[in-house]
Amino acid sequence: MNAPSRTINARCSHGDRYSHTGVALGEPCELWAEGCKMYKAVRTSRLYEQIVEQIEDSILKGALKPGDQLPAERELAVRFGVSRTAVREAIKALHEKGLVEAYSGRGTFITDGTSRAIRQSLDLMLKIGQADNSIHLEEVREILEPEIAALAATRIEESQLAMMREAIAVMDRQRLEPEAYIEADLDFHLALAEAAANPLILSLIDSIVGLLREQRIRIFQVDGGPDRGQGHHRRILQAVESRNAVSAREAMRAHLRQVRADSSVAPSEAKVGD
């Protein structure tokens, strides 16, 4: 997931300082700048494990923190002196450990592992099939998301506004493609959570992504559901762009009322591509 945009300072082994912005899209992380000796090339067997060890060590020492973005796969391969295959295996292993999350079109980010553990528990609860899961999710969203929108209105940065605008644009283009539409919908709400600039809030929202995806799949099948959702998304974006916390809170409440109404008539099983 993605995480709040922030500026950090990291100290390389030779003592120089490099600062970077954790989620600036298209901008390389200066932590990895030429001359920084934090990482050394690996040359023995099971290369990906050595990459994992070095990145884990950086996380433990605080040089990499939750929310920091890793460089692109190609850059990591050059930095470590290995193939891109080894880098992919390393990222996969780090993901399985709950230390990184990869977001399509945005990159790979360091996590604290907390949201992954919570998500796995919640996903298991969903699979068990408790009858009141959808009601519980709606109540949690109604408690959290209006205040998240209000906070975002006072703290959001331009990069996060750009993510929200792009998410709406993708949903406009993908009205007939449920998977793409739903992922963009999730990105919209995650951008709001990032904009709240509170890592606990982001972990909470990130932890229920699996449940949110299931809910959206069902609502997508309700006649007019995506169109109603888009209208609310635009009103939320407008309020946040205006830095109006009261309007953002009310726009989100209205959106969640629409979600609850559509959920009440949605099919009980979530299916994509029917």
Domain CATH code at residue 168? 1.20.120.530
> 105 with 139, same domain?
no
Q: Where is 150: in which H helix or E strand?
A: helix 133-155
Question: Is the pLDDT assigned to residue 23 strictly greater than 80?
Answer: no
Look at residue 1 and tell me if it is in a domain: no
Look at residue 149 and tell me if it is in a domain: yes
Q: Is the model more confident about 198 or about 26?
A: 198
How high is the pLDDT of residue 101? 83
Domain region containing 151 = 128-265
| Averaged pLDDT score across all residues of the chain | 79
Report the range of poorest mean pLDDT among 96-105, 133-142, 163-172, 246-255. 96-105
Q: Please, what is the Cα angle at 143 between 138 and 146, to 5 degrees? A: 100
User: Over the stretch 72-127, which tens digit does the pLDDT of each residue have?
Assistant: 888 998 999 888 888 988 998 888 887 888 876 778 988 866 666 666 666 666 55
Beta bridge partners of 109: 69, 101
Question: Is the pLDDT assigned to residue 187 strictly greater than 80?
Answer: yes
CA atoms of 197 and 150, how far apart (whole Å): 12
How high is the pLDDT of residue 267? 77
Beta bridge partners of 7: 21
**Of 79, 110, 141, the domain-final residue:** 110
> The domain spanning residue 99 has which CATH number?
1.10.10.10
The three-class DSSP label of residue 187 is helix
Look at residue 274 and tell me if it is in a domain: no
How high is the pLDDT of residue 13? 36
Sign of CA dihedral 228, 233, 236, 239: negative
Look at residue 12 and tell me if it is in a domain: yes
